[in-house]
Structure 1
Amino acid sequence: MSRWLISIAALSLAACSPSQNDSYAQQFVSGDVAVHEVFWAVDHNTPYPFTTSGEISCVYYPEFGTEVYFEPAGYSKDSSIGTPLNKAAAKSLEKDGMIPNVPYSIKKDADLSEAVDVGLKACGEV
């Protein structure tokens, strides 16, 4: 009888313990950075690439890599789909049949390289 109780106790502890598998945690990373034209020039060499203040966000999924998006201020909600800033984001949206639903706020002929770098740094990559 005591072996039976020990087995049940061990099983319940194992069932309630967090998984030791970190693979999901290593596969999903996200972050965001608020951006505004007034403060952009302090840390960046290129002109502010957006027509409004907002947020550069990133999310990493193994299939495409780190996706970087821009969302104008006031549109950072669960149902909003930001403007893709890099190829990984554009490919991900295309694969899922999604299109951005926030106002397009990238200046004409803007250099997005530093904006993409900001997004990649938010996810811990460069």
Structure 2
Amino acid sequence: MRFSAVIAAALPISLSLAATTSMKGTVSYDTVYDNSKLSTLNIACSDGSHGLNTKGYKTIGALATFPYVGGAPAVTGWNSAACGSCYQLSYNGTSVYFTAIDKADTFNMGLNAMNKLTGGKAKKIGVANVTYKKVAESKCGL
């Protein structure tokens, strides 16, 4: 019994360490996310119980992390539970907090944001290899 109690006590620690582990992924750009006036009604995370518009964010520019907003693999579609999830993306020593607002196969942000992340190389490289980890939504101002 004592051994299983030790395992049970260690399990939450193991799970929290796994949640902070950096993963490898990619980021690309779509200029639609450069428009700070883009209505949140035009993205997967629009209305519904998990929607950003429902939470008072009428445009993507109203989000604290703008311009670091866009599509993310965790967002599965309209009203996804992952709407508003926050990630730390890192590229060659530069890190940003990114808010997931739309569905995408990889991370996808505006051209301006990707240029800031990659030191102005977004158009040249098109897709950047990044490390990322999910972090508390408070890091993204939510």
- Give the structure-2-normalised TM-score: 0.28
- Higher RCO, 1 vs 2 (CA within 8 Å, ≥6 residues apart): 2
Greater fraction strand: 2
Give the number of the structure whose alpha-carbon radius of gyration is greater. 1
Greater fraction helix: 1
